[in-house]
Amino acid sequence: MGDLIDWPVYICVICDDLEAQRTFYRDVLGLNEVAVTETRVRFDVGNFRILELISTGEGNYGSPRFQVSFGVRDVHQAVDELAKRGLRSLDGVRLDPQDNTPYAVFRDAEENYFEVTQLAEVP
């Protein structure tokens, strides 16, 4: 891929009906459910890639949409490089509450959210 980002490692589906979406992705598509809370469901889709469903009732997730997270080798370096290219992170580097993976959130040219996520070290 590019010199900065890799293929998405995380795709998020913000949904109005979390249970219907959970049933669809788990039972119809056959994805492996690995974590469930009242407002989130996480699926492991293999090769260190995650699909997560988040309820529109949580935090700033006010309407249904897709959101991707691109893998990067060093999230701080990626944030710095994107700043040089005119982008500013919405709230700096944060840690994912489920696995402590560092990530940063941005908006694209049409105000869609996207993230950069530091890739885990693979032995």
Dist CA 70 CA 9 (whole Å): 6
The answer as to whether 102 is a domain residue is: yes
Structural domain contains residue 93: yes
Number of structural domains found in the chain = 1
Residue 2 counted as domain residue? no
Report residue 122's pLDDT band, with 50, 70 and 90 as the boundaries: very low
Q: What CATH number did the domain enclosing 76 receive?
A: 3.10.180.10
pTM of the predicted protein model: 0.76
Choose among 98, 80, 99, 101: nearest CA to 89. 80
For 30-42, the pLDDT digits (tens) are: 999 999 999 999 9
Q: In the 8-state DSSP scheme, what is residue 108? A: -
Q: How far is CA 11 from CA 28, 52, 123, in A?
A: 18, 6, 24
**Is 82 within the bounds of a domain?**
yes
Alpha-carbon span 106 to 89, nearest angstrom: 5
Residue 56, domain member (yes or no)? yes
Please report the pLDDT score of residue 21 as a whole number. Answer: 94
Q: Which domain holds residue 39?
A: 8-118
Residue 79, domain member (yes or no) = yes
Cβ partners under 8 Å of residue 38, min gap 6 = 55
Give residue-wise pLDDT tens across range 91-110. Answer: 999 998 878 899 999 988 77
Residue 123 lies in a domain: no
Q: Across-strand partners of 32?
A: 44
Tell me, yes or no, whether 1 lies in a domain.
no
